[in-house]
Amino acid sequence: MAITDDVLVIGGGIAACTAALSAAETGAQVRLLAHKKSTLRQASGLVDVLGYAGDDGPLANPYDGLDELPEDHPYRIVGEDGIRDGLRLFDEAVGDAYRGGHTDDNALVATYGGTMKPTARYPESVASGLVSASGDMLLVGFESLTDFDAPVAADHLEAAGVPFSVRGVTLSFPKAFRADAKLTRFAKALDRDESVEGETVRSALADAVADELDGESRVGFPAMLGDDHDTEVRDELADRLGVPVFEVPTGPPSLLGLKLEDMLFDALDEAGVRIASGNPAVDFEADGDRIETVLVDQKSRMTPYEADQIVLATGGLVGKGLDSDREHVTEPVFGCHVPHPEDRYDWSEPEAFGDHEFARFGVVPDDELRPTDADGESHFENLRAAGGVVGGAHVAREKSASGVSLATGAVAGRLAGEDATQ
C-alpha cells in the first residue's frame, strides 16, 4: 500500500527542512523524504543571504543588491518577501542559538581561512569574533587539527586591513588522539572535561592559552569547543582566561553544520513533520501533468509514496540533486529539464575562480517555482523545486547559498501546502 500525505518534500538539507516547515504551517500533513546525510555536515553553519551582487560587495545590506541580480535568479522570482519569510522560519527553528535576526545588515565573520565573510545569521558561539567587534584577537590552532592554520589565518586578516591586531599560535591539544581522530572526538573530550596528566582538559587548555596571551582581549578557537555542553565549555574557558572566547567556522566536517542539522530536524519534529530517511527516491508515476506516486528504493524494493503536492529539494551538482556525464546534465528523479551548453568546454572558465556556467545549472522554475521544460511550460502542476536544484544563482560567488535555500524552500513549501489544503 502507498504511503499518503498532503505534501511530500524530497531532500534533507536546509531547503528541504524549510519547505517542510513552511508547508506544515498551512495545516498540511507533511512528510520529509531524505536519502543521505545532508550537506549541512560540510557547511560552515553560517547563513548567507547575499554578500556580493554584480561588481558590488561585500554588501552591508543584502537587500540592497537584489536589483543587481539577473532576471532568472531565484531571488527575483520569490522576491524580498520570500527571503524574509525564509529567515523567519529559520529564526523560529534555531531560537537563541543564532544571532543576526535583530538587523537587516550583514555581519562580517572571520573564517578559518582568514577571510571575512558577509553573513546574515551566525551561531552565538561566533559572535565575539565578528570583525565589527572591537579588541585585539588571538587565534589558537592545534597541531593535530591541520585544517585550521591559526598563524596563516591571522596574517590574512591583518592583510585585509581589519581595525585591530590579530595574532595566531599553534599549540598541542592537551589530550593526545590518533592522527585520524574526528573533530567530534575533541569536542567530546571538552564536553566531558576528561582527565589528562592530573588535571582536566579544559583547565590544561586554558593554562596553555593563557601563557600565549599578550594583551589580546578575545580568543578564537576552531569550532570544536564542545558539542552537547558547548556553552558550558566556552563559558569556563572565558572565565579562566578572563577574555571572551569564540569559535571560528571551519571546513568539513563541520561541527557547526552538524548542530544546525540537529536543530532543524528538532524543529521538524515539533511541527509534526513525518520523516523517512535512508532510502532514495528513484522514479515516479504520473497521470498527465500530475505526479501520482514517487517510488522509493528500499533495499531494491520499490515503495510508493503518494502526495497531493511534491517539493523537490535534492540539491545541485554537489548534493547529487543533479547528475552529469561528459555530455549532459540531468535531474534524475523526475527528468526535469536542465539547460546547459552542448559543448562541455563551455561549462567552465579557464580561471579557477572564474564565472563558471556550471555553477548556475539547475531546473528553470516558473513564477510559482514549478520546474519548466525547454518550452517554458511546467513539467507537472503539483511539483515545485527549492534550493540547490534550482538554477540561475552563482551561490559561491554571491555568498547566497543558504539564503536561496531558505527563500525558495519557504515559498515552495507554502504554495504546496496551500494547494494541498484547498
Q: What is the pLDDT of residues 322-356, one digit of tens each?
A: 998 888 899 999 999 999 888 776 677 777 666 77
Alpha carbon 178 to its chain centroid, in Å, reads: 29
Count of beta carbons in the 10 Å neighbourhood of residue 298? 12
CATH architecture of 112-248: 3-Layer(aba) Sandwich (3.40)
For residue 107, what are the β-bridge partners?
119
Write down the residue that cell numbers 528500499 correspond to: 298
What is the C-alpha separation between 420 and 104, in angstroms, rounded? 33
Alpha helices per DSSP H over 26-179 = 74-94, 150-159
b/e burial code for range 7-43 (CB count within 10 A of at least 16 → b): bbbbbbbbbbbbbbbbbbbbebbbbbbbbeebbbbeb
> What is the structure's pLDDT at 113?
87
What is the C-alpha separation between 119 and 131, in angstroms, rounded? 12
* Residue 10 cell numbers, joined: 524530497
* Residue 277 cell numbers, joined: 530517511
- Answer positive or negative: Cα dihedral of 260, 130, 42, 204: negative
Count of beta carbons in the 10 Å neighbourhood of residue 395? 20
> What is the structure's pLDDT at 107?
96
Residue 68 CB partners (closer than 8 Å, separation 6+): 53, 54, 56
CATH architecture of 3-99+257-421: 3-Layer(bba) Sandwich (3.50)
> What is the structure's pLDDT at 144?
87
CA distance from start to end of the chain: 25
Report the chain (422 residues): mean pLDDT per 10 consecutive residues: 90 96 98 84 89 87 95 97 98 97 95 90 96 94 90 95 95 86 89 93 97 97 95 97 96 88 96 94 95 93 96 90 88 94 74 73 96 96 97 93 97 98 92
Please tell me the number of Cα atoms within 13 Å of 205 on its side-chain side. 29
> What is the structure's pLDDT at 351?
75
Give the largest Cα separation in the chain, rounded. 72
What is the C-alpha separation between 354 and 230, in angstroms, rounded? 39
What is the C-alpha separation between 210 and 189, in angstroms, rounded? 20
Write down the residue that cell numbers 520499490 correspond to: 302
Alpha carbon 139 to its chain centroid, in Å, reads: 24
Count of beta carbons in the 10 Å neighbourhood of residue 138? 24
> What is the structure's pLDDT at 98?
97
**Phi and psi torsions of 273, nearest 5°:** -75, 130
Is the separation of the CB atoms in 42 and 258 below 8 Å?
A: no
The letter for the amino acid at 163 is P
The phi-psi region of residue 366 (left if phi > 0; otherwise alpha if psi is between -120 and 50; otherwise beta) is beta
Nearest to 402 by CA among 111, 37, 13, 12: 13
Q: Is the pTM of this model over 0.85?
A: yes
Do you find a cis peptide bond into 151, omega within 30 degrees of 0? no
Is the separation of the CB atoms in 276 and 268 below 8 Å?
A: no
82-122, pLDDT tens digit by residue? 999 999 999 999 999 999 999 999 999 998 888 899 999 99
Q: Per-domain residue ranges for the chain?
A: 3-99+257-421, 112-248
